Structure 1
Amino acid sequence: MDIKIANQLFENGALNQMFKAGFISSKIFTYREIYLWVIVQMQTRGISKNKAVFEAQGQFNKDERTIWRAINSFSSTDRVVSPL
């Protein structure tokens, strides 16, 4: 999912409604927070992504793989492939 779309859904309350209805899990909120925190650390402090991930492990009390999973879930690397 693109972070811009996730932020729009979060701001208008759609993510919360989907969570309450059981369509999505609470992980989306945690992953979004982790992703935004890592990006802010990289931009404001000028640190590398790897260092930000390392620091996020302590900040969120999650393992490295979870931090990377959160980052990858909002990275816009998805490509639409034609079925032809």
Structure 2
Amino acid sequence: MPAEANDIQVHLDDLLAERGMTLAELAARVGVTNVNLSVLKNGHARAIRFTTLTSICQALNCQPGDLLSYRPACARGD
């Protein structure tokens, strides 16, 4: 069975809170719109460009694995 998009968990809220940064501030630093980051933050993004991922990691001083994790629905109890 193919993985579902919601099997990827996005931890952007946690990273922003840990760094005392707003979504708008991150959007400005990364060069994307608030709407695009909000779609990612809420787990509704279907894809992310590596250049965007790189910019987010640079701005938040994190690794991709800090931002994204894989958790299949069966492990979540869905």
TM (normalized to structure 1)? Answer: 0.35
Structure possessing the higher relative contact order (Cα contacts under 8 Å, 6 or more residues apart): 2
More strand by share: 2
**Structure with the higher helix share, 1 or 2:** 1
